[in-house]
């Protein structure tokens, strides 16, 4: 029996969803990825220029990119490092609009686009689960890397709250929406798409072996959530809550963003499993991920003659 709950009406599996559109072609995800990379570099270049003007001294930019630097949490470094990643979201939207392989809403879900009600519920749960994880690590680890110095300014704190969730969502759209759906549409094997996207997600982070392992396991959890819920709301909520807890506690001087060892991997993996289990149980009881109409018919009717 499938772990996925039955939905009312037409139901599409998330990883293979691109195939239902008449404009689908196997090479279009590659074109979208290429254009997304180009547009992201442009956005990151603009962001870097803004931050250089903000700092007023190019020599400070390297220091500002360190997440232990006051320049990072005062705004400039955070905007370049995190805002540059968030720039992948508009880059992807523009790339898909040019390639026109499918509607952009199909990245959000195979249930009819982004569901704000589902996201808010998931984020409330994720804030409790991942916030508790951060507190437990601060209290339980022998050396959480705390220096007790608040590095945030008001502008930096506002940027953190605004940009970090966008960065998390952007990564979900790229790794789960673009990559996982591309692999799923090519292979028609959801499990393979989930595993491969998680591996790429892990190794794309420039951490040590333990860090890559922890991120890869998290990526597998995010991939499962996207597959199970047929959308990105649950994974984006978890990703945002996790990243916010890391940046906030590190910026407040209560922990280091890079602290921890094997025990950190085990704890983060257990917390990810707990969150996934809670999502499944709550959805089965309250039906969080309701369909809003998939948009397939309208899109195919609009572009069907052109595709033919």
Task: Give the chain's largest Cα–Cα span.
Answer: 64
What lies within 8 Å, CB to CB, of 279 at 6+ separation is 122, 125, 225, 228, 229, 234, 288
Q: Please give the pLDDT value at position 305.
A: 64
Q: Please give the pLDDT value at position 280.
A: 98
Nearest to 134 by CA among 251, 249, 259: 249
On the 0-12 / 13-18 / 19+ scale of CB atoms within 10 A, 155 is middle
**CA geometry: angle 108, 112, 117, nearest 5 deg:** 75
CB 275 within 8 Å of CB 242: no
Q: Please give the pLDDT value at position 237.
A: 98
Q: Please give the pLDDT value at position 1.
A: 40
Q: Please give the pLDDT value at position 292.
A: 80
Question: For residue 30, how far is the Cα from the chain centroid?
Answer: 20
Q: Please give the pLDDT value at position 135.
A: 86
Q: Structure tokens of 39? A: 């547009």
Q: Please give the pLDDT value at position 149.
A: 82
Distance CA 176, CA 197 (A): 7
Q: What is the DSSP letter of 5?
A: P
Determine the angle formed by the axes of helices 233-251 and 154-172, rounding to 10 degrees.
Answer: 150
Measured distance between the N- and C-terminal CA atoms of the chain, rounded to whole angstroms: 38
Phi, psi of 231, rounded to the nearest 5 degrees: 180, 180
Q: pTM score, two decimals?
A: 0.93
Q: Please give the pLDDT value at position 301.
A: 86
Below-50 pLDDT ranges, the chain: 1, 6, 8-9
Phi-psi domain of 150 (left: phi exceeds 0; alpha: psi -120 through 50; beta: other): beta
């Amino acid at each position: 029996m499938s772990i996925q709950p039955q939905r009312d009406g037409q139901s599409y599996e998330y990883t293979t969803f691109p195939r239902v559109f008449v404009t689908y072609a196997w090479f279009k995800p590659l074109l979208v990825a290429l254009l997304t990379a180009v547009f992201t570099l442009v956005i990151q270049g603009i962001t870097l220029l803004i931050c250089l003007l903000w700092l007023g001294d190019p020599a400070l930019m390297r220091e500002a990119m360190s997440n232990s630097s006051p320049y990072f949490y005062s705004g400039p470094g955070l905007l370049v490092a995190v805002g540059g990643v968030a720039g992948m979201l508009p880059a992807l939207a523009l790339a898909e609009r040019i390639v026109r392989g499918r509607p952009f809403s199909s990245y959000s879900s195979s249930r009819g686009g982004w569901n704000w009600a589902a996201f808010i519920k998931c984020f409330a749960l994720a804030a409790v689960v991942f916030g508790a994880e951060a507190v437990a690590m601060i209290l339980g680890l022998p050396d959480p890397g705390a220096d007790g110095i608040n590095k945030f300014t008001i502008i930096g704190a506002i940027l953190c709250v605004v940009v970090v969730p966008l960065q998390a969502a952007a990564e979900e759209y790229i790794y789960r929406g673009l990559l996982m759906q591309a692999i799923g549409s090519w292979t028609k094997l959801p499990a393979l798409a989930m595993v491969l996207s998680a591996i790429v997600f892990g190794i794309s982070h420039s951490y040590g072996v333990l860090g890559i392992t922890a991120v890869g396991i998290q990526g597998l959890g995010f991939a499962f959530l996207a597959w199970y819920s047929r959308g990105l709301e649950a994974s984006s909520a978890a990703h945002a809550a996790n990243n916010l807890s890391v940046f906030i506690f590190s910026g407040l001087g209560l922990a280091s963003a890079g602290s921890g060892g094997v025990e950190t991997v085990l704890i983060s993996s257990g917390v990810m499993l707990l969150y996934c289990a809670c999502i499944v149980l709550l959805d089965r009881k309250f039906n969080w991920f309701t369909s809003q109409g998939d948009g397939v018919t309208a899109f195919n009717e609009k572009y069907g003659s052109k595709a033919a």
